[in-house]
Structure 1
Amino acid sequence: MSFAASLDDKQKQIYQNIAPSDEMGNYEENIKDTYIATSSLVLSAKEYKKQYFVGEVFSLELSAKTTENTEFDFELSFNKNKELVFLNPEAKWQKNGDEYNIKLYFEAQNSNAKLESIEVALSRNKEVFQRSSLLLEPLNFKRVNADKNYSQIVANDLSVKRTRTSYFDDKNLMMIVELRGENANLNDFHLKDETLIEQRIDNVRGDFNSSIAFYSAIFAPNKKSLDFSYFNLNTQKLETLSIAVELSADESVSTQSDLNPKNNDLVFYKQLGLWIVAGLCFVFFIFKRSYIALGIAILVLALSFFIGTDTQTGVVKSGANAKILPTANSTYFRTSKQDEKVEVLAKRQNYIKVLFEDGAIGWIDEKDLQEN
């Protein structure tokens, strides 16, 4: 007689209600893979300076030596305070025989920054099987004796490659500055200038040895120049740069007329020309009694009132971003919180230049514009 047959109905019901096990069917996969280190992990660092300036980008070159003959991952941790920023957490270790090298970049946010030690751990299957620490000699950080135009940049060199000034809206100007820095963190660029309505840094490219970025600032048109300084590590002093506020050649005329398309001078001159033609036809009619001339005069006069009335309008979708320039890397300066009526000013590739009801002008993606 089988075991199942020997159970009464109540006992069978109990066995049917037992929940299935959540253990994996493959018992070998449940066995923990514990790896035991077969060698030591030795850490060392190349010679480094002991004193830096606040805002200066500095690096530590670290070496880890191990003869472990297995696959493993590196895990980094630091005994530091929050005033010291680790700048390149995505850095990769480079293998050279049984030695692994990495270059770590840091920056002190104030003179109280501390970095006491670096710990490296080796892990396999997310389990650490070996770790080692490297004690560092004390690092000191000195504040820059800054002036009112200080840009928060400490660098071997900071230069201006190109600038462009244009109308941001009907009340303010916008300047875009292409910066190039050596041994600098251009993300830090910021001016404590009360005349600036808005400022930002975008599109930082390169590495800390050499990088470029685009700084943009919005200000009133009565501003004469954009002045800023940075601390030069080579000369050990502040260097000052000044950029005159001058409208770019293709913006001084075309953008102003774009700000108020209904007052475009070209439209006025076209209308004036048609009125002159109509007037001459009327004079010809009076003296020659030519009804053909009268008909032409009436037709031309009527046509003159249709010039400039074909303004195209549309609606920018809610959530659409407006850019400063019609390029992929341009800065977004506003996001529509709801559908907005706009006037279409121009089109370039996949971007459309629009005039918002509050006077702001920007470029939007053509897919974000719908018919009114």
Structure 2
Amino acid sequence: MRILISLFIPFFIFAEILKYENIKPYYYPNELVNFNIRVILPTPKKINVTTSYNVETNLTQINPYIYLLNVKFLANNEPHKLIIISKKFYKEINLNNLIKIKKIIPPKNYSNIVADDLKIENPIATKYDKNHTILNFNILCKNCFIKNFKVSSYEQNLTTISQNKASYYVILPKNIKEFTFFYFNSNKQTFEKIKIPVIITQNIISTQTNINPEDEKIFTPLNILILILIAFSLIIFLVYQKIFILLLPILLSISLLLKILPKGEIEIKKGTKVQILPTKQSTIIYISNKNEKAQILNKTKNYIKIKINNKIGWIKSENYK
């Protein structure tokens, strides 16, 4: 017996110990898994951690013998792997084997979010075009993977502000008066319904033709007046047959073309925010994920009206090359 004990003593002295902390009994699909691995070393040494692309880690050294490794990933069927390496130590961990996933049946308009809590801030609805409304709001959630937020098949965009906060907009048919979605509350273990009234915010600046998010149209009141003057001038020319009379319709035609045609092309920078209106608090309708070409439609002192990817809006003047 003494011989056996003496044989196993070196093993316990020199073995690294991994302790898993704060793992729940089960998780729901797409819930953020967040737990710690305490690495206890027999002798002071440096350790390194590598993971698969879908795992986030944060390593903290508590003392020369103990490291605390925080691990985060989504509870889904993707492979999640973690490797801990130090001198004379190699440990590969299949993280999927450490957790159990409990299935849920999502309702219609499920947002793909599992969270301890979710709140909505600053909902603003404004006219997008004659058939659509754009609704913009901030999402705040606790212990969630906010990048997964998506509702139904609407045209929409999510901009991550922080790990638990994002700015979101969705373009809705104008007849929709309430935007509804569900998220799964992991504390209450039930689906929670969020209702957002779609109430158009009246803004005087949005009714001005030259800064409206819609493209310049020929048949605006001012353009109709110009067309009438052009037609009237041509009738006078046909009656009197004087060449100088053509000067007026030619100048008016040039003026109209300059007004309605794109005013050149620019390249906007990656991360440029395209807004509905040229104001600081305007709703963001598009964010470029790379340097992109855009048509210039109009200019003010600090903003440029552009058309990009069939979207029309305003960018700050410094956001193009």
Other-structure match for 1:220: 173
User: Aligned-pair distance for 1:77?
Assistant: 4.8
The alignment status of 1:248 with 2:212, answered yes or no, reads no
* Deviation sequence 1:42-79 (CA, Å, 0-9, x none): 21112522311111112221011124445x3412458x
> TM (normalized to structure 1)?
0.58
CA separation of 1:182 and 1:69: change in aligned 2, threshold 3 A:
closer
Determine if contact 2:304/2:316 at 8 Å carries over to the other structure.
Answer: no
* Deviation sequence 1:233-292 (CA, Å, 0-9, x none): 222211111112122243xx3213232789999x9xxxxxxxxxxxxxxxxxxxxxxxxx
CA separation of 1:39 and 1:53: change in aligned 2, threshold 3 A:
same
Other-structure match for 1:201: 158
* Deviation sequence 1:59-117 (CA, Å, 0-9, x none): 221011124445x3412458xxxxxx84414x22332341110111121235xx677x8
Q: Name whichever of 230-239 and 354-363 sits farther off.
A: 354-363
1:40 to 6, 15, 22: 15
* Deviation sequence 1:107-148 (CA, Å, 0-9, x none): 1235xx677x8542115xxxxx32246688753212222110
Other-structure match for 2:62: 95
Give the Cα separation in 2 of the matches to 1:47 and 1:318.
Answer: 49
CA separation of 1:219 and 1:333: change in aligned 2, threshold 3 A:
farther
Give the Cα separation in 2 of the matches to 1:39 and 1:53.
Answer: 38
Amino acid at match of 1:317: I
SS at match of 1:52: coil
SS at match of 2:199: coil
CA separation of 1:170 and 1:318: change in aligned 2, threshold 3 A:
farther
* The structure with more radius of gyration: 1
Amino acid at match of 2:28: F
The alignment status of 1:120 with 2:75, answered yes or no, reads no
Give the Cα separation in 1 of the matches to 2:184 and 2:29.
Answer: 10
User: Aligned-pair distance for 1:165?
Assistant: 2.0
User: Aligned-pair distance for 1:355?
Assistant: 5.4
Other-structure match for 2:49: 75
CA separation of 1:347 and 1:239: change in aligned 2, threshold 3 A:
farther
Determine if contact 2:304/2:317 at 8 Å carries over to the other structure.
Answer: no
Q: Which runs of 5+ in 1 are unaligned?
A: 1-37, 79-84, 124-128, 268-304
SS at match of 1:140: coil
Other-structure match for 2:150: 190
Aligned ranges for residues 230-309 of structure 1 at < 5 Å? 230-250=183-203, 253-257=204-208, 258-259=211-212
* Deviation sequence 1:13-40 (CA, Å, 0-9, x none): xxxxxxxxxxxxxxxxxxxxxxxxx943
CA separation of 1:318 and 1:59: change in aligned 2, threshold 3 A:
closer
CA separation of 1:205 and 1:47: change in aligned 2, threshold 3 A:
closer
CA separation of 1:347 and 1:177: change in aligned 2, threshold 3 A:
farther
Amino acid at match of 1:93: T
Aligned Cα RMSD in Å?
A: 4.1
Other-structure match for 1:175: 135
Give the Cα separation in 2 of the matches to 1:121 and 1:334.
Answer: 36
CA separation of 1:342 and 1:170: change in aligned 2, threshold 3 A:
farther
2:35 to 42, 60, 76: 60
Q: Which runs of 5+ in 2 are unaligned?
A: 1-12, 223-251
> TM (normalized to structure 2)?
0.67
Aligned ranges for residues 133-152 of structure 1 at < 5 Å? 139-152=99-112
* Deviation sequence 1:199-228 (CA, Å, 0-9, x none): 12112304xxxx211111123322222110
